[in-house]
Amino acid sequence: MALPPATDWSPLRISLETSVTATIITLAAGLAAAWWRERRHGTAMAFVDGICLLPLVLPPTVVGFFLLLLFGRHGLLGKLLLQLGTTVVFSWPATVIAAAVVSFPLMYLTARAALEQVDSRFLEAGRTLGASEWRVFAKIALPLAWPGVLAGTILSFARALGEFGATLMLAGNIPGRTATIPIAIYFAVESDDMRSAVAWCAADVAISLALLAGLYYWTQAQGLSREVRR
Amino acid sequence: MALEVQIEKKLAEFTLDVSFTAYDAPIGILGPSGAGKTMLLGCIAGLERPDRGRIVLGGKTLLDTERGIRLPARNRRVGMLFQHYALFPHRTASENVAFGLNHLAENERERRVRELLERTYAAGLENRYPRELSGGEQQRVALARALAIEPEALLLDEPLSALDTHLRSQMEAHLQETFAAYRRPTLLVTHNIAEAYRLGERLLVLSRGRVAAFGPREEIFRRPPTAEVARLTGCKNFSRARAVSDGAVEAIDWGCNLRIAQTLSGGVAHVGIRAHHIDFAEASGGTEERENTLPCWLASSSESPFHVTLYLRLHKPPDESRAHDLQAEVTKEKWERMKERPTPWRARLSPDALFVMPE
């Protein structure tokens, strides 16, 4: 097992790249699923909700194991990818897949709650004015649900940043390629490199604080501009 | 242009089962809350799914369940004014109006928005957000927004109910003006009887999902086809009745025979008269004066700014229960003169004002 030297910044880069990419995927997929789900009723929808929320309630290692089965050599998607001459297991995309799957339920839940809060008469008004479903979503539902969607995005990003179990199962610990900060911390502690562990923990705290501070100032600014418009 | 509606939709409490045709004049849709009025508008606009039926607007089929046609709301060109206006809160007044005009070039769109806002007396509100607008201003902007798509029919759901009383008459005048210029099928839902009468040239009375009456407003108020319609159009006085001759009925609850002007056809179940049609004879006169005239005593009264409602007991003085047989409405002036006179008073139910109902 190669030990990352303290001056190796790759876990920070990998963590940020992975989290940002996973959050973008989660945002798009979570919004699409929430918008699709929001306009439907029935008992079949409980099943859809169950599937969407499963990664939230399952231990990340279980999620990682399922992903490994799915993307492995004999897995449904793994075989498909193999035919295309590629594989994702133990590669950077695997860190993104693991982070996206694990953070998806948070996005789905908050986006649904935010869309549910939008008065359906606004959407109906848009439809009578000739707007397509896409336009109703983009110009009415999303702007009105925006604060909730943003909160979901930040939650998802934080969850993606902290992802460990599923990432380790699917992507492993390949320094410079799949070793994210949490994985670097784990293996640093494992090999008694306390200096690296503390450094990466400090980095994680700094990122989280920056995120929260950004969110705080953003909501303040929002409140302020709303006051001005009032 | 004609709007033909024939729909069925099962609801929790009853089935909405409505058919009528609207032409280029406003129809007032009157009914108690929960009668299915808003649902009916939703079905026409394409926001609700009827179980069965056909809706044709100006030759264009909006819905035909037998042929599997269900045009989505966006393709119907039916303008809708929602009950609380449903202006997009994140868009200014002019952005709200412009929403349905995004197919136009920008300067053309701006011109149209200005024109529409002027037409609905909302000029000057362009850059305000809905929360900065009063109820009346919101209504005007919402009307401009609904008219922007040049709708082939206009549906209004309780357009005045969210407004203060002093604003209502002004907004009602604006609406009347809009209707006069618009001349396309227009449906206006309300539970206010007077409002429905003033704004709708024809009336459609809806009760538990069914059309209880549909026709010119004068006719429906003068000769309500059923006791239910009479009640829903504000009639307070009913008596069970049976025919005694060609021009007379026996009013069982009022204990008298009454001559009526209406020609009797079919069965007679009830006779009714509106409160303001009850007249009071000044003094005992000839035989003609005596006809349809009943002795009555005052059980209680209730004063409004310009008129007084009298609750009357027929044939005998009222007891402790203050129960009444008739409800009459007189002007303040008349009341001042009347209240000095000794009882019994003599209530005259004019044959012209009485109407009989089969059901």
Angle value at C-alpha B29, between B271 and B331, nearest 5 degrees: 55
Chain B residues lying within 8 Å of A123, measured CB to CB: none
pLDDT score of A118 more than 60: yes
**Is there a contact between A183 and A108 (Cβ–Cβ < 8 Å)?**
no
pLDDT score of A229 more than 50: no
Candidate from A122, A130, A139 with C-beta closest to B86: A122
Tell me, what's the pLDDT at B283?
59
Q: Which whole number is the average pLDDT over A56-85?
A: 92
Q: Establish if A190 belongs to a structural domain.
A: yes
Q: Establish if A165 belongs to a structural domain.
A: yes
Q: pLDDT tens-digit profile of A120-164?
A: 999 999 999 999 999 999 999 999 998 889 889 998 999 999 999
Tell me B275's DSSP state.
G
| Non-local CB neighbours of B246 within 8 Å, separated by 6+ positions | B263, B264
Q: Which whole number is the average pLDDT over B124-146?
A: 93
Share of chain B above pLDDT 90, in %: 47
Please tell me if residue A119 touches chain B, with a CB cutoff of 8 Å: yes
Query: What is the residue-wise DSSP string for A96-155?
Result: HHHHHHHHHHHHHHHHHHHHHHS-HHHHHHHHHTT--HHHIIIIIIHHHHHHHHHHHHHH
Number of domains, chain A: 1
Tell me B12's DSSP state.
S
Tell me, what's the pLDDT at A223?
67
| Chain mean pLDDT for chain B | 89
Q: Which domain holds residue A26?
A: 10-229
A226: closest chain B residue by CA: B90
| Non-local CB neighbours of B339 within 8 Å, separated by 6+ positions | none
Q: Establish if A186 belongs to a structural domain.
A: yes
A144: closest chain B residue by CA: B90
Q: Which whole number is the average pLDDT over B330-345?
A: 86
Chain A stretch 20-49, residues whose beta carbon is closer than 8 A to a beta carbon of chain B: none
Read off the tokens for B43: 């079905």
CATH number of the CATH domain containing A219: 1.10.3720.10
pLDDT score of A91 more than 80: yes
> β-pairing, B202-207 with B26-30?
parallel
Beta-bridged to residue B63, according to DSSP, are B55, B70
Tell me, what's the pLDDT at B284?
54
Q: Establish if A20 belongs to a structural domain.
A: yes
Q: Establish if A1 belongs to a structural domain.
A: no
Q: Which whole number is the average pLDDT over B47-73?
A: 94
Residues A126 and A136: their CA atoms lie apart, in Å, by 6
Tell me, what's the pLDDT at B2?
93
Please answer yes or no on whether A129 and B47 come within 8 Å at the CB atom.
Answer: no
Please give, rounded to a whole number of angstroms, the shortest distance from the CA of B185 to a CA of chain A. Answer: 16
Chain A residues lying within 8 Å of B148, measured CB to CB: 129
Task: Give burial (CB, 10 Å; 0-12/13-18/19+) of A227.
Answer: exposed
Please tell me if residue A143 touches chain B, with a CB cutoff of 8 Å: yes
Tell me, what's the pLDDT at B168?
85
* Cβ atoms within 10 Å, residue B352: 11
Tell me A4's DSSP state.
P
pLDDT score of B287 more than 80: no
Tell me, what's the pLDDT at B289?
59
Q: Which whole number is the average pLDDT over B106-135?
A: 92
Tell me, what's the pLDDT at A226?
58
Please answer yes or no on whether B74 and A127 come within 8 Å at the CB atom.
Answer: yes
B81: closest chain A residue by CA: A125
Q: pLDDT tens-digit profile of B299-308?
A: 889 998 889 9
Q: Which whole number is the average pLDDT over B227-247?
A: 87
Least confident of B64-68, B126-130, B136-140, B261-265: B261-265
Q: Establish if A42 belongs to a structural domain.
A: yes
* Cβ atoms within 10 Å, residue B147: 20
Query: What is the residue-wise DSSP string for B23-81?
Result: -SSEEEEE--TTSSHHHHHHHHHTSS--SEEEEEETTEEEEETTTTEE--GGGT-EEEE
Q: Which whole number is the average pLDDT over A35-42?
A: 87
Please tell me if residue B132 touches chain A, with a CB cutoff of 8 Å: yes
B350 or B42, greater pLDDT? B42
Site from A118, A128, A135 to mutate, B interface, most B CB atoms within 10 angstroms: A128
Q: Establish if A4 belongs to a structural domain.
A: no
Please answer yes or no on whether B99 and A129 come within 8 Å at the CB atom.
Answer: yes
Please answer yes or no on whether B82 and A130 come within 8 Å at the CB atom.
Answer: no
Residues B127 and B147: their CA atoms lie apart, in Å, by 19
In the three-class reduction of DSSP (H, G, I as helix; E, B as strand; rest coil), residue B214 is classed as strand
- The verdict on ipTM greater than 0.95 is no
Residue identified by tokens 């499963």 is A54
pLDDT score of A42 more than 90: no
Tell me, what's the pLDDT at B61?
95
Share of chain A above pLDDT 90, in %: 70
* Domains of chain B and any CATH numbers: 3-227 (3.40.50.300), 235-359 (no CATH)
Candidate from A124, A130, A144 with C-beta closest to B149: A130
Residue B288: pLDDT band with limits 50, 70, 90: low
Candidate from B45, B75, B90 with C-beta closest to A144: B90
pLDDT score of B293 more than 80: yes
Q: Establish if A70 belongs to a structural domain.
A: yes
Tell me, what's the pLDDT at B245?
83
**Is there a contact between A55 and A44 (Cβ–Cβ < 8 Å)?**
no
- Sequence-separated contacts (24+) of B247-251 with Cβ below 8 Å: B247/B351, B249/B356
Count residue pairs from A and B with Cβ separation < 8 A. Answer: 64
